Amino acid sequence: MKRFLSLLVVAILAGVMTLGAYKIFLETEPIVITKNETTPKTNVIPTAYNATNLSTVPTNIDFTVAAEKTVNAVVHVKQYGITKTPRNLMEYFRNGGATERRIQGAGSGVIITEDGYIVTNNHVIDGATDLEVTLNNNKSYKAEIIGTAPQSDIALIKINTDEKLSYIPFGNSNTAKIGEWVLAVGNPFNLTSTVTAGIISAKSRDLNEYDGNFQSFIQTDAAINPGNSGGALVNTRGELIGINTAITSQTGSYVGYAFAVPSNNARKIVEDILEFGDVQRAIIGIGSKPLNQETKSQYNISTSEGVLIASVEENSGAKKAGLKEGDVIKEIDGVKIRKFSDLTGYVNSKSPDDTIQVTITRNNQEFNVPVTLSKYVIQRYEIEDVGVEVANPPNGKYLEKFNIDHGVVISKALSSRMQRYNLEGLIISEIDGQKVKNVLQVKQIIESKYPEDDITISLIDRSGEKREFVFQN
């Protein structure tokens, strides 16, 4: 027995020595990547989880055809600009004295014609003094800016070459479906010609519905990172269904949520720039309210999906077609409308004077109404004595955030003094005690005053509080 115990102890010691030698001399230390971020507390919620039946998962999905069709038509866009930065405090205080510094940014672009027209994001080329485009075959060209649409973050640029270039045809983003496989093609982190795969996670996604610039993005879980901006989102047939534009992330890198401008919207912008030099934006001419229990009860509505019309603009296509407050828009041209971003996403792909077929419910009965779209024109007025420019608020939903039904939005601070207060987007509700509903009323009130008169402005701040300011001349 003692002999057995001795042998056991020797065997254990030998094993420990062998394992220790392996750890010291042979094993490679693993690379550990840590993220300096706070992990949010997770709520434990009971979940009904059903394992996927593997026999129902498609096994014949092939991304190679789409990748081969598109990789040569996605380019690397480099922009160069000049910024002035003070080297020291003396330069800072000497009337703006500073040293010029050349800066460089990079993104992606999509060739859409064989003669060199390229669509990209406006933020990729914004502020550039020089643009350089590098193709997948490493040839580089100088590029010129043809036109931009900052509100939609789309830009059109062009390179000149004698060779016929590979390009990606526009697909129909309206027919793209949630769950459909897509590829994101671009140049993340300057890694040229990168292809990632994912699915369409959502459509008509509005990232900031109260900024007055209503968006309608395609959301995807295909990996998109800095440098992918302006690149292609394509379906498995190699058709362009989106221009990769943004990610939502706490780290600045991809965490599963990426967004693309739908191809129908991008194509319409490109066509407008080529034909008119700028974007011709179309509108129906309505204001809306959310469909909730309060509004459903107020208007005696049974449906829970659609766009509830809260107001109809004078002389608009909606007014001429007979649309009324309390109507609910359910479909446009057969496309289902569940929320306001569905409506704006579809209408933004149309042009002024186009006629669309609008399906509405009124008194719980369904009607089809043809509506001719009108051109969106921003009315602006400079209140020079105050130092701001005002514009009509774009939608009743914007005013609803501030719990008011009238006002104009501050679109720009004109003076350096006012620029310090970050006023853009705030609402002016009254001037000298008079309610204002549009720019024309603001103009009439201001121009009726004598130069030496004071101006009292009632402003709704970002918390919804009403504040009064007196501007003395």
- Same fold flag, 173-276 and 380-471: no
CA atoms within 13 A on the CB side of 156: 20
The answer to whether 333 is a known catalytic residue is no
Q: Does residue 284 contact residue 318 with C-beta atoms inside 8 Å?
A: yes
Which fold, 173-276? Thrombin, subunit H (2.40.10)
> Torsion angle of alpha carbons 20, 22, 24, 28, nearest 10°?
-140
Confidence of residue 346 (pLDDT cuts 50, 70, 90): very high
Token pair 């608020």 is found at: 393
Predicted confidence (pLDDT) at residue 423 exceeds the cutoff of 70: yes
Q: Which of 85-89, 231-235, 285-289, 447-451 has the lowest mean pLDDT?
A: 85-89
Residue 153 annotated among the catalytic residues of the structure = yes
**For residue 41, pLDDT beyond 60:** no
pLDDT of residue 456 exceeding 70? yes
According to CATH, the topology of domain 64-159 is Thrombin, subunit H (2.40.10)
Question: What would the two tokens of residue 340 be?
Answer: 């306001």
Confidence of residue 228 (pLDDT cuts 50, 70, 90): very high
Q: Choose, from 115, 123, 351, 406, the residue flagged as catalytic.
A: 123
295-305 tens-digit pLDDT: 999 999 988 89
What is the mean pLDDT of the segment spanning 47-57? 37
| Annotated catalytic residue 123 | yes
Active-site option among 152, 201, 216, 229: 229
What CATH superfamily classification does 282-375 receive?
PDZ domain (2.30.42.10)
**pLDDT higher than threshold 70 for residue 237:** yes
Is the pLDDT score of 349 beyond 80? yes
* 380-471 CATH fold: Pdz3 Domain (2.30.42)
Residue 47 has pLDDT above 70, yes or no: no
Identified catalytic residue from 76, 108, 152, 153? 153
pLDDT of residue 147: 95
Q: Both tokens of residue 299?
A: 């208007």
Residues 6+ apart with CB under 8 A from 20: none
Does the structure show a pLDDT above 60 at 38?
no
Closest CA to 77 of 201, 229, 303: 229
Out of 47-61, 77-91, 92-106, 164-178, least confident range: 47-61
Burial label, 313 (beta-carbon count in 10 A; 0-12, 13-18, 19+): middle
Question: How would residue 101 be classed by pLDDT, with cut points 50, 70 and 90?
Answer: low
Domain boundaries, the chain: 64-159, 173-276, 282-375, 380-471
- Residue 72 is given by DSSP the state G
Of 241, 245, 271, the C-alpha closest to 174 is 241
pLDDT computed for residue 440 by the predictor:
84
Which whole number is the average pLDDT over 420-439?
A: 85
From the number of C-beta atoms within 10 Å of its C-beta (0-12, 13-18, 19+), residue 314 rates as exposed
Query: What pLDDT is recorded for position 216?
Result: 87
pLDDT value at position 396? 61
Distance, first Cα to last Cα, the chain: 108
CA distance 77 to 143: 9
With beta carbons less than 8 A apart as the criterion, state whether 274 and 266 touch.
no
For residue 334, which amino acid is it?
G
